[in-house]
Homo-oligomer: A and B are copies of this chain.
Amino acid sequence: MTISRTENGVYSIAPTPFTPDGSVDYTSIDRMVDFYTQAGVTGLTVLGVLGEAPKLTQEESVEIASRIITRADFPVIVGVSAPGFAAMKSLSGAVMDAGAAGVMIAPLRTLRTDDQITNYYRNASQAVGTDTPFVIQDFPLTFSVEMSVSVIARIANENANAVMLKHEDWPGLEKISALRALEEDGAMPRLSILCGNGGSFLDFETERGADGAMTGYCFPDTLVELVGLAGKGERDAAHDLFDAHLPLLRYEQQPGVGLAVRKYVFQRRGVLDYDAQRAPAGKLTDTARQEVDYLLDRLARRDSRAANLPK
């Protein structure tokens, strides 16, 4: 069971639960996987930036991924971005052996020219193995690498295992339209396009041709409902649901702070025992927690999923 070019729905970006002393919290991991199952997600993406992947040793990475893969009854994509191809190959091999559905590869921060970027993905494609489908992560805000539409088309044309795009360029709506137009013209193979950026443009991204979401917003159940409404063409209902969540979603999307918000809400929703991050940890101040509480209270008036959450 590996990911394909026609994947759609919601792949949640899973955080990595820790206990306050910094050890991996496997109890919460199991509960979290069950939560995602109940939320109806299509799949899960683990060990990305917001999975605190760089804070893990490779042994821990493989163990966490394996634990999640074993417990989940849906496909799991594993982030294998690394400063070198040897580490990428080693981690990719381990998690695919453990049953991963594919891997996700971010570009190295130093890449600039179109040729540098496409060369990198050719090498990465070889490193993970051409039988291993991979996700291109297009996230300039975090990685400082700008991929033009034509570069993404080149990557898709040159690597048969490039099957999915985690779309989080900003702005990004016209990029989706341009990629879909190239596909229709036969200029590039179809990519599954799942959108990140916290979901902050998901209302329109689905209308532009995206296949769904790949993001970690703390209400994945909402994202599932939202993508479902969009799929059925219920535009106003989709936007109503989106708009109700936008104030919190925007708050969660703050760089650096976002993961702390996400873990805090997951803790309030009973998914995680702790909102702890491994050091160096981002932390919410008391004021910030109260702001999140206030946003949840306001959201509860429109979405019962936010109601009656214990503090």
Contacts and interface: CB of A to CB of B under 8 A. Distances in A.
A279 interface: yes
Could you tell me the dominant secondary structure of chain A's interface residues? helix
A184 interface: no
B255 A55 contact: no
Contacts of A294: 239
For the complex formed by this chain, how many copies does it contain in all?
Answer: 4
Given A55-B85, A243-B246, A280-B85, A112 B171 contact: no
A225 to B, nearest CB: 18
A176 B223 CA distance: 32
Interface stretch (A5-13, A263-271, A285-293): A285-293
Nearest to A112: B146
A113 B247 contact: no
A65 to B, nearest CB: 15
B54 A279 contact: no
A27 interface: no
Contact of A114 (B113, B171, B204, B287): B113
A174 interface: yes
Interface string A57-90: 1101000000000000000000000111111001
B257 A171 contact: yes
A56 B84 contact: yes
A130 to B, nearest CB: 15
A201 B248 CA distance: 11
Given A109-B109, A177-B287, A287-B177, A83 B83 contact: yes
B115 A170 contact: no
Given A123-B280, A170-B254, A151 B86 contact: no
Interface string A240-260: 001100110010001111000
A57 B151 CA distance: 29
27 contacts: A54-B83, A54-B86, A54-B87, A55-B84, A57-B86, A57-B87, A85-B279, A86-B278, A109-B109, A113-B113, A113-B148, A114-B114, A114-B150, A115-B150, A123-B280, A170-B254, A171-B257, A173-B288, A174-B285, A200-B250, A201-B250, A239-B294, A239-B298, A242-B247, A243-B243, A243-B298, A246-B247
Given A113-B114, A239-B298, 6 more contacts: A56-B86, A114-B150, A123-B279, A243-B246, A243-B298, A246-B250
